[in-house]
Structure 1
Amino acid sequence: MAVSLSRRGFMALGCSAAASPLLTPVTLAAAPWDQRLVVIILRGAMDGVDVVQPYGDRALAAARPTLLTGEAGGAIDLDGFYALHPALADLMPMWRAGELGFAHAVSTPYRDKRSHFDGQDLLEAGTGFEEGTHTIRDGWLNRLLQVTPDLAAETAYSVGQGEMLILSGQAQAASWVPDTNLALSPQTRDLMRLVAASDPLFADALGDAVQIVESLEEEEDTAMMAGGKRAPGHQKLAQFTASRLRGATRIAAFSLGGWDTHNRQIGRIKPPLQALSDVLLTLKAELGPIWGQTAVVAMTEFGRTARENGSGGTDHGTGGAMVMAGGALRGGKVYGDWPGLGERDLYKGRDLMPTADVRAYAASTMRGMFGLPRDVLEQVVFPGLDMGGVPDLTL
Structure 2
Amino acid sequence: MTNALSRRAFLSRSALIGCSLAASPLLTPISLAATPGENRLVVILLRGGMDGLDVVRPYGDPAYAALRGDAGLNDTDAAIDLDGFHALHPALRPLLPLWERGQLGFANAVSTPYRDKRSHFDGQDMLEAGRAEFGNAASRDGWLNRVLQNLPDAQAETAYAIGREQLSILVGSAKTQRWTPEADMVLSPQAIKLARLIMAEDPAFDAAFTQAMEIADSDGDVVAMTGTQDDMMAMLKQNTRQGKGGSAEQRIAEFAGKRLREDSRIASFSINGWDTHQKQDRTLPPALNRLSETILTLQDTLTGPVWNKTTVVAVTEFGRTARMNGSGGTDHGTGGLMVMAGGALRGGRVIGDWPGLAEAQLYQRRDLMPTRDIRAILGWLLHSQFGLSTSTIETSVFPGVDMGANPTLLR
Relative to structure 1, the CA distance from residue 192 to residue 63 in structure 2 (aligned partners, 3 Å threshold; closer, same or farther) is: farther
Relative to structure 1, the CA distance from residue 64 to residue 157 in structure 2 (aligned partners, 3 Å threshold; closer, same or farther) is: closer
Please say if 1:110 is aligned against 2:114. Answer: yes
- Once the two structures are TM-superposed, the CA of residue 152 in structure 1 deviates from its matched residue by 2.4
Distance 1:361 1:193 in 2: 51
AA matched with 2:335: G
AA matched with 2:409: L
Relative to structure 1, the CA distance from residue 189 to residue 305 in structure 2 (aligned partners, 3 Å threshold; closer, same or farther) is: farther
What secondary structure is seen at the aligned counterpart in 2 of 1:269? Answer: helix
**Can you give the 5+ residue segments of structure 1 that lack an aligned partner in the other structure?**
1-6, 14-27, 222-228
Q: Once the two structures are superposed, what CA deviation does each residue of 1:349-388 show, in whole Å capped at 9, x if it has no partner?
A: 1000000011111111111111110000111001111100
Matched with 2:383 is: 367
What secondary structure is seen at the aligned counterpart in 2 of 1:296? Answer: strand
- Does the CA-based 8 Å contact 2:60-2:86 persist in structure 1? yes
**How many equivalent pairs are there?**
361
Pick from 287, 296, 310 the counterpart of residue 294 of structure 1: 310
- Once the two structures are TM-superposed, the CA of residue 9 in structure 1 deviates from its matched residue by 4.4
Relative to structure 1, the CA distance from residue 12 to residue 369 in structure 2 (aligned partners, 3 Å threshold; closer, same or farther) is: closer
Pick from 319, 343, 367 the counterpart of residue 335 of structure 2: 319
Larger Rg: 2
Distance 2:218 2:159 in 1: 13
- Once the two structures are TM-superposed, the CA of residue 189 in structure 1 deviates from its matched residue by 5.2
Relative to structure 1, the CA distance from residue 204 to residue 41 in structure 2 (aligned partners, 3 Å threshold; closer, same or farther) is: farther
Please say if 1:383 is aligned against 2:386. Answer: no
- Once the two structures are TM-superposed, the CA of residue 194 in structure 1 deviates from its matched residue by 3.9
- Once the two structures are TM-superposed, the CA of residue 208 in structure 1 deviates from its matched residue by 2.6
Please say if 1:283 is aligned against 2:301. Answer: no
AA matched with 2:148: L
Q: Once the two structures are superposed, what CA deviation does each residue of 1:144-190 show, in whole Å capped at 9, x if it has no partner?
A: 00011222234899899611111110001101001277456534455
Matched with 2:91 is: 87
What secondary structure is seen at the aligned counterpart in 1 of 2:182? Answer: coil
AA matched with 1:248: D
Distance 2:40 2:93 in 1: 25
Pick from 167, 172, 175 the counterpart of residue 178 of structure 2: 175
Relative to structure 1, the CA distance from residue 350 to residue 241 in structure 2 (aligned partners, 3 Å threshold; closer, same or farther) is: same
Distance 1:383 1:351 in 2: 26
AA matched with 1:10: L
Matched with 1:331 is: 347
TM-score normalised according to structure 1 size: 0.84
- Does the CA-based 8 Å contact 1:145-1:171 persist in structure 2? yes
Matched with 1:75 is: 79
- Once the two structures are TM-superposed, the CA of residue 98 in structure 1 deviates from its matched residue by 0.6
Pick from 44, 47, 68 the counterpart of residue 43 of structure 1: 47
AA matched with 2:287: P
Relative to structure 1, the CA distance from residue 150 to residue 390 in structure 2 (aligned partners, 3 Å threshold; closer, same or farther) is: closer
Aligned-pair identity in percent equals 54
What secondary structure is seen at the aligned counterpart in 2 of 1:245? Answer: helix
Instruction: Report matched runs for 1:52-67 at 5 Å.
Output: 52-65=56-69
What secondary structure is seen at the aligned counterpart in 1 of 2:265? Answer: strand
- Does the CA-based 8 Å contact 1:105-1:339 persist in structure 2? yes
Please say if 1:232 is aligned against 2:281. Answer: no
Q: Kindly report the root-mean-square deviation, in angstroms, between the aligned alpha carbons of the 2 structures.
A: 2.8
Matched with 1:249 is: 264
